[in-house]
Structure formats: C-alpha cells, structure tokens
Amino acid sequence: MKRVKRRYLFLQLECDSVPAEREFVDAVWASVTKLYGEVGASLTGLALINFDAERKVAVLRVTLATLSMMRASLAAITSIAGKEAAVNVVGVSGTLKALYARVQ
Amino acid sequence: MTRAFSDLHLRVNPKDQQATRKIIIKAARFRYTQISIPFTSNLNEEELTKLKATCTESGLDFVSRADFRPRSENELTHFLRKFRRRFEVICVICDSKEVARQAAKDRRVDLLSFPSLDHHKRFFDRAEAELASCSLAALEVDIKPLLILEGPPRVRLLTSLRREVALAREFKVPTVVSSGVAEERLMRLPRDLASLTFLFGLDEAQALEATSTNPAAIVARNREKLSNRFVAPGISIIKEGKPS
C-alpha cells in the first residue's frame, strides 16, 4: 500500500477570547463538513497535534492530497464557539521539525 | 524572490480614519504590497493624499481606485471621460446587461464586478467574456460573500463563480481576486485568500496569479499610461532634447 503523505499546518488564531481546544477542533470540523460534506471531511485525515491556548496557536496534521481543501476550510472559519474569529495559516511543512524551525 | 500580493478592494469608508488606519496596519502585517480603497465619484483629493501617506508609512503601495455603478451606457461613458485620468484603477459594478456589455467593450475599464447573488443578474456569460478578452478588462471576484454566506446562497454563489471563472479562463480574461471586506476580522492572509479560490475551481498557480500577478499588471499598465512620459502603448519619452 502506498504511504500517505502528510502535511503539518501551523495556525494562528485571531479572536478576542481564548477558545477551548474542543471548541477550536469543532469549528475546524464544522467548516470542513460544511464545505465538503462528511465524505470530503473523512479524506482529510485531520488531527490536532498541538494547541496552545495562551499563544493562540495550533498545529494540525492533514493529508497532502486534501491540503487545498483544508486551507480553504480554515480560511472560511469566521467564528469559534459563537464568537468572531479567524484562523490564519502561518506555515505548512512536511515534518514538525521543519515547521517549528520555519515559524520561529 | 517572494511574491508581491495585492488586495485591490478593501471596502472601508475613507472618512472613518480609525477603521481605515486599522485595516491598513493589518494589511501591512499580512504582508500585502499593494492595497486599494475604492472611492466613489465624489473624490476628495485631501482624503486620497492622507490615505497614500498612511500607506507609505506602513510600507504599503496605495493604489487609487474608483468604483462606479452606472445605470446606463451614457452614464458609464460620461464617468470614464471624467475620471479615467484621475484614478489608477477603474472598476465598473455591472447591474444591467447593457452596462456590462459596454464596460466589457471599453478599454478604459480595468475591472468588471458582478456583486449580485441572483444568477440572473450576473452577466458574465460567453458574449461578455469575449468582449472583455478583446479589451483589457479583468473579472473581479470578491471573497467576502463566501465568508459571510452559508447554505444554499453560498452554494448558488459558488456555482456562478465556477462558471464565470471557467469562462474567463477559456477566453483568457484575467481574474483578480480581492477580499472586498470592510471589517478587520474578515481579512485573510494573501495565501489564505488565494486558497479560498480553490472552492470555485482555480488551482494554486491560477489563484496566486489572481492575487498577485494580475492586479499588479493592471496597476503597472495604468501607472505607465498616467505618467507624463507616456506617448502610446510601447512608446514613452526616455529623454528630452534641449531646444537649439
């Protein structure tokens, strides 16, 4: 079986209040399913790797094949837990090491 | 070399200085290189100068742009005659077929905008695309409705945009993607803005062109035309001789 290529996304959240990890993940899933449906969402291989509520940053892992879908879904987020918010993709990389090196 | 991104449609009211300043600072933080805030026909030179100064302070290149929503062909030609040489970018908001056709034909129009959500009122069809391809007009797509709409209206808008963008590609009409936002919170990083175009069928290269190369080309072409040294396309004054 062919190995699934993945990408890690470093995200910066823009919101007035600090969302909980669960609220953030729910907002991401809601955006993906709203735009691409449940079948589309199942292809993304979406996983939350890291969430720092204090710095309002998060790291997500997705499959390379659905990277464009994920970027569009993240850009389409306008609220988290009913409060105005935006999610900016600061960096994308194939390994966590390179991702952290790039954004620091 | 890093890519230079443009957002030619930030819909903030230039009279609201605080909001304008916030938007400009955020655009600079997001590393846009060119931004534009549209003026209507009642131009205030003082406001324009102030905006340019604020943008320069933040390291941004301000592009003067006028948006016009004419009700007839005559109104459009009258507006173009009056304002073409005062703005670097002219956008025509097409609310009727008559205006849309005339705007697509006229070489003085840079951007064609179809803001209506009703697909009967979006006039970018094959005929319009063919006319636009012969002139220099580009199709402008605002991203804001995609962010604020949900459900069936967004689905209908995506269907219209997909069709229009495919037609533009077929007839080699450049597409310009702008944010069209008035609120700071709805602004997106240039690459995030480009990634939203994936929803209506642009691939990565086309999306990046629509947010960087295409708008920059329009601005560069018009700046050249508006400069004192311009004579005709391809001909400009390089050096002036001394009278003997």
State mean pLDDT over B70-98: 92
pLDDT of residue B39: 83
| B42, pLDDT greater than 70 | no
Smallest CA–CA distance, residue A67 to chain B, in Å, is 10
Q: Flag the least confident range among A39-48, A75-84, B90-99, B115-124.
A: B115-124
- Residue B43 confidence class, pLDDT cut points 50, 70, 90: low
Which chain B residues touch A14 with a CB distance below 8 Å? 185
- Does A39 map to a domain? yes
The CATH code of the domain that includes A11 is 3.30.70.3250
State mean pLDDT over B185-201: 94
Convert the pLDDT of each residue in B1-30 to its tens digit.
Answer: 688 999 999 988 888 888 888 999 999 999
Report the C-alpha gap between B119 and A37 in whole angstroms.
Answer: 24
Q: Specify the number of domains making up chain A.
A: 1
Residue of A nearest to B183 (CA): A84
Higher pLDDT, B117 or B219: B219
pLDDT of residue B48: 83
pLDDT of residue B41: 63
- The domains found in chain B, sorted by start residue, are 5-226 (3.20.20.140)
- Does A33 map to a domain? yes
State mean pLDDT over B108-117: 92
pLDDT of residue A103: 86
Domain span at residue A48 reads: 6-103
| B77, pLDDT greater than 70 | yes
pLDDT of residue A24: 95
| A70, pLDDT greater than 80 | yes
| B158 contacts chain A (CB < 8 A) | no
State mean pLDDT over B111-128: 90
| A41 contacts chain B (CB < 8 A) | no
| A28 contacts chain B (CB < 8 A) | no
Q: Flag the least confident range among B12-26, B83-97, B134-148.
A: B12-26
- Does A1 map to a domain? no
| B227, pLDDT greater than 90 | no
- Does A78 map to a domain? yes
State mean pLDDT over A51-63: 94
**pTM to 2 decimals?**
0.89
Which chain A residues touch B32 with a CB distance below 8 Å? none
pLDDT of residue B45: 77
Helices B152-170 and B126-134: angle between axes, nearest 10 degrees = 50
Higher pLDDT, A7 or B82: A7
- Summary mean pLDDT of chain A: 94
pLDDT of residue A65: 95
What is the 3 state secondary structure string of chain B?
Answer: CCCCEEECCCCCCCCCHHHHHHHHHHHHHCCEEEEEEEECCCCCHHHHHHHHHHHHHCCCEEEEEEEECCCCHHHHHHHHHHHHHHCCEEEEECCCHHHHHHHHHCCCCCEEECCCCCHHHCCCCHHHHHHHHHCCCEEEEECHHHHHCCCHHHHHHHHHHHHHHHHHHHCCCCEEEECCCCCHHHCCCHHHHHHHHHHHCCCHHHHHHHHHHHHHHHHHHHHHHHCCCEEECCEECCCCCCCC
- Does A38 map to a domain? yes
State mean pLDDT over A81-90: 94
Q: Which two tokens stand for residue B37?
A: 């805030």
Interface test with A, best of B149, B185, B187 (most A CBs within 10 A): B185
Residue of A nearest to B191 (CA): A89
pLDDT of residue A63: 96
State mean pLDDT over B110-125: 89
- Residue B49 confidence class, pLDDT cut points 50, 70, 90: confident
Convert the pLDDT of each residue in B160-190 to its tens digit.
Answer: 999 999 999 999 999 999 999 998 899 999 9
- Does A12 map to a domain? yes
